[in-house]
Amino acid sequence: MSWSSTFILLVTFGLGIVVGLVGTGGALLLPVLIFLFGLEQHHAQGTALLISAIPITFLPFLPYYQSGSFDLRVALLSAVGLALGGYLGATFAQDFPAKYLRYALGVVLAVGAVRMFISPAPP
């Protein structure tokens, strides 16, 4: 599938609004890349990681910064852990069939969604 640049910009602009509202990125981006833009699993994952390498989350972070709604220590330590673990995971992913990567993503998203629904929200 080949989409126009305008279509891709409009879809990802809408996705960006959702990202800013709920504070997530790749979890929403991968399904769009796979099911809407028609990218194969490995290409979608690589594309999502490249998009994330560009500081696209900086602007959505600014309102959280302005309200003081972040933990710098947790963010910096998590960034290091995610970078190192992400490299290892991405290396392993090259040897897995796309079918199993898609299943793994579905399980992770489903478990996260169930957890969000059954856990009580903090006051």
Say if residues 82 and 53 touch (Cβ distance below 8 Å): no
**pLDDT tens digits, one per residue of 20-68:** 777 776 678 888 898 889 999 899 888 988 888 777 778 888 999 999 9
Task: Say what the pTM is.
Answer: 0.72
* pLDDT value, residue 29: 86
Is residue 1 pLDDT above 70, yes or no? no
User: What's the mean pLDDT in 89-101?
Assistant: 91
* Cα→Cα distances 93→75, 79, 86, Å: 25, 20, 10
Select from 121, 16, 7, 1 the least CA-distant residue to 61: 16
Say if residues 25 and 57 touch (Cβ distance below 8 Å): yes
Say if residues 90 and 49 touch (Cβ distance below 8 Å): yes
